[in-house]
Amino acid sequence: GNSVTQMEGPVTLSEEAFLTINCTYTATGYPSLFWYVQYPGEGLQLLLKATKADDKGSNKGFEATYRKETTSFHLEKGSVQVSDSAVYFCALAGNNRKLIWGLGTSLAVNP
């Protein structure tokens, strides 16, 4: 069945550092891929998405590219800020449109 694996946290970075959070998936067909973010005390919100191979999703300085050859959707940001401290979830939606979630990666950015 479909599954998502993302790197374990917590990840701790200094402000302005480069961020990568790895996400790989297993799926039949052509899933859509997502990154959701959960800021402290808030609900989950969609950060970015990609619906087909080679698409790049981007938002708030974050980017992720749908790589079918490596079944990956790694999240990157060139220069993180303290306000980026949150939990990041990778997810996929298969042909049945059901969302499959990763376990989440906690990011802490220190000033």
Partner 1 sequence: EAGVAQSPRYKIIEKRQSVAFWCNPISGHATLYWYQQILGQGPKLLIQFQNNGVVDDSQLPKDRFSAERLKGVDSTLKIQPAKLEDSAVYLCASSSSAGTGKNTGELFFGEGSRLTVL
SS3 content of the chain, % helix, strand, coil (to 5): 5, 55, 45
The identity of residue 106, as a single letter, is S
Q: Which of 11, 27, 89, 109 binds partner 1 (CB under 8 A)?
A: 89
98 is a site residue for partner 1 (CB under 8 A): yes
88 is a site residue for partner 1 (CB under 8 A): no
51 is a site residue for partner 1 (CB under 8 A): yes
Interatomic CA distance for residues 101 and 111, integer angstroms: 30
Q: Least distance (Å) from partner 1 to the CB of residue 35?
A: 11
7 is a site residue for partner 1 (CB under 8 A): no
